[in-house]
Every structure is written in structure tokens, then in C-alpha cells.
């Protein structure tokens, strides 16, 4: 379910991303004419607004289209019209190949990287006891370097 702000000045439907606008209080800018609307959403439902207000601080919608004007629309990431997807990785360009995580956010080695060696058994099922030295010596070396640099931490 997504909430919309329908701009009556230019007949543009501005779609708000439910992840970012689930509990939101602020201003949203129209993608077509730039009019700002005040909205207050609680659990995805309008508590107040949308009502037109002037503001310098605003958030752009994720997607916008004009239903009475054929197929004109603004896709996510259009400069000065809509905002980009938040879920896209910013530090790595999309290559079409999966990115395997070898270390957790705390620096501990995980078992989710690929390709797994044949010694790991059927579908990499190591159970609760697994020896990273035998499973992947190169990941073991990388883990030891992270320990020396102090990048591994506990809870």
C-alpha cells in the first residue's frame, strides 16, 4: 500500500514510498510543478493533510505520473523531480552478479560466501561445528588480518 499526494494544480499523482513515509510528518514536493504539501502519516494513513504549504525543507516523491495526460511519468531517480531508490548500493555499481558477504557487520566470518568447497558437504551443510581453516584458507587469512587491525568486535 502506498500513499499518494494528488496535486490539483497540475493533476500529477505523487506516490510516496511506504517504507520511508510509514510514520512521517513533513513536507512533500510535487514532481511536476514544485508545490509543497504538508502531510502527517501515522502507520501509513493520513492523520493530517495533504494541504498546500510553503516550505524550504521537503522530500521528493519516489514516483509520479499524470493519469489524465496519457503515459507521462517521472521514474525514481529523475533529477530534481523524484528521489532515487534508497536500497541501491551506493559504493558498488550494479554488475548483475551477486555480492557474497564473507564477514558479518562485527567482522566475524560467515558461511554464506560462494563457491563453497566440496569439503563442506551437501549444499554447504556444516552443522554447528565448522572449521574455517579447512573450509577456506584464504578467508581464514583475511580474518587473521582483520584481527590484527582490530576490525573484529564483540557485541
Q: Which three cell numbers stand for residue 55?
A: 516550505
Q: Any idea which residue has 549444499 for its cell?
A: 123
Can you tell me the distance from the alpha carbon of 55 to that of 26, in angstroms, rounded to the nearest whole number?
9
Q: For position 39, what pLDDT does the model report?
A: 92
Residue 135 has pLDDT above 90, yes or no: no
**In this structure, are 100 and 53 located in the same domain?**
no
The answer to whether residue 18 is domain-embedded is yes
Can you tell me the distance from the alpha carbon of 126 to that of 99, in angstroms, rounded to the nearest whole number?
21
Can you tell me the distance from the alpha carbon of 28 to that of 14, in angstroms, rounded to the nearest whole number?
9
**In this structure, are 69 and 99 located in the same domain?**
no
Q: For position 27, what pLDDT does the model report?
A: 92
CB 31 within 8 A of CB 8: no
The answer to whether residue 37 is domain-embedded is yes
Residue 147 has pLDDT above 60, yes or no: yes
**In this structure, are 53 and 11 located in the same domain?**
yes
Q: For position 36, what pLDDT does the model report?
A: 94
Can you tell me the distance from the alpha carbon of 64 to that of 150, in angstroms, rounded to the nearest whole number?
47
* Percentage of residues of the chain with pLDDT beyond 70: 74
Strand partners, 132: none
pLDDT in tens, 1-25: 578 899 888 889 998 887 777 888 9
**In this structure, are 105 and 149 located in the same domain?**
yes
Q: For position 22, what pLDDT does the model report?
A: 82
Is 113 exposed, middle or buried, given 0-12, 13-18 or 19+ CB atoms closer than 10 A?
Answer: middle
| Host domain of residue 145 | 95-155
**In this structure, are 50 and 16 located in the same domain?**
yes
Can you tell me the distance from the alpha carbon of 145 to that of 50, in angstroms, rounded to the nearest whole number?
54
Of 60, 74, 73, the residue nearest 30 (C-alpha): 60
Name the DSSP letter for residue 27. E
The answer to whether residue 112 is domain-embedded is yes
The answer to whether residue 111 is domain-embedded is yes
Amino acid at each position: 500500500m502506498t500513499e499518494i499526494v494528488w496535486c490539483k494544480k497540475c493533476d500529477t499523482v505523487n506516490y510516496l514510498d511506504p517504507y520511508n513515509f510509514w510514520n512521517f510528518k513533513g513536507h512533500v514536493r510535487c514532481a511536476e510543478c514544485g508545490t509543497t504539501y504538508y502531510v502527517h502519516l501515522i502507520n501509513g494513513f493520513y492523520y493530517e493533510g495533504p494541504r498546500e504549504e510553503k516550505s524550504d525543507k521537503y522530500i521528493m516523491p519516489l514516483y509520479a505520473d499524470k493519469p489524465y495526460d496519457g503515459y507521462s511519468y517521472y521514474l525514481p531517480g529523475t533529477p530534481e523531480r523524484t528521489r532515487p531508490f534508497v536500497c541501491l548500493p551506493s559504493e558498488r555499481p550494479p554488475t548483475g552478479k551477486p555480492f557474497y558477504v564473507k564477514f558479518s557487520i562485527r567482522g566475524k566470518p560467515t558461511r554464506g560466501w560462494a563457491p563453497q568447497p566440496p569439503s563442506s558437504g551437501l549444499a554447504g551443510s556444516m552443522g554447528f561445528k565448522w572449521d574455517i581453516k579447512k573450509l577456506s584458507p584464504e578467508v581464514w587469512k583475511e580474518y587473521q588480518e582483520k584481527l590484527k587491525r582490530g576490525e573484529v568486535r564483540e557485541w
